[in-house]
Every structure is written in structure tokens, then in C-alpha cells.
Structure 1
Amino acid sequence: MRLSARNMLKGKVKAVTHGVVESEVVLELSPGVEIVSTITKGSAEHLGLKVGDTAWAVIKASNVILATE
């Protein structure tokens, strides 16, 4: 797999919660460090995502917004 996105974070699927249209996938990058992605249910099914699988969070964004109190 070759992608133009430079931010690819490898982890283990910790949880997959399917809704009617979307699925929430929790990816554990390292102990205590998680990233959550919401993808279509069809995409989650196509990828066959299940707990314990290795997966990559691929981040391609032109903006990252930060805020403080």
C-alpha cells in the first residue's frame, strides 16, 4: 500500500461499534493512547474490522484546529 498521506498511525482495533449507517472504530496506538474514527458501516464491513486486528489510521488534513480554555 502506498499513499500520499504522511501521517499513518499503526495500532490494534480495540472496539468496533456498528450503528445503522456508521461504525465507530477505536484504534489503540500504544497502551493508553487511542484514536477514534467514524466510518460508514459498509466500509467497516468491507474491511472486516474486528477486535485485535492491526489497522492504520491514515490522516490527511489541511487544517488541525487547536483550542484552549
Structure 2
Amino acid sequence: MTTRRLTEAELATIMDRAPIRPRERRSVPLGLTLAALLVALVLAFGLTAALAGHLVERTAVELLAAERHKSM
């Protein structure tokens, strides 16, 4: 198969048949966005609750140790 240069008339014909349209913007579906937001919130609250639980447990252990130390 050989290639050749298009003439001005051929190029004009092709350009007339295929108008240049602006590219359509692809957006993320709303459901996917909401699902990602929900996952992020669940993770954030879960990690916060885990950290708070750990700190409360650690504080309770320290208080119990201090009470035992006082009673000795």
C-alpha cells in the first residue's frame, strides 16, 4: 500500500464532512463519588474510634497501676 499527499480539494472535502467538535468532558458518576466519600468517612471515623479506644484503655491501665502502687 502506497501513501500519497492529499490535494487541497481532497483535504477540504474531508474537513467539510467531519466537523471538529470539542471533546466531551468525562465526569465521574455521582454514585461513585458518593461511594468513595462514604468509604473515606467510615475509615476516618473508624480510625478515630480505634485511636480513642486505645487511649482510653491505656489511660485505664495506667490509672489501675497507679491505684495498685498507692495501695502497696
- TM-score bracket, shorter-length normalisation: under 0.3
Report 1 or 2 for greater relative contact order, CA contacts < 8 Å, sequence distance ≥ 6: 1
- Between Structure 1 and Structure 2, which shows a larger proportion of strand residues? 1
- Between Structure 1 and Structure 2, which shows a larger proportion of helix residues? 2
Kindly name which structure, 1 or 2, has the bigger radius of gyration based on alpha carbons. Answer: 2
What's the TM-score, normalizing by structure 2?
0.16
What's the TM-score, normalizing by structure 1?
0.17
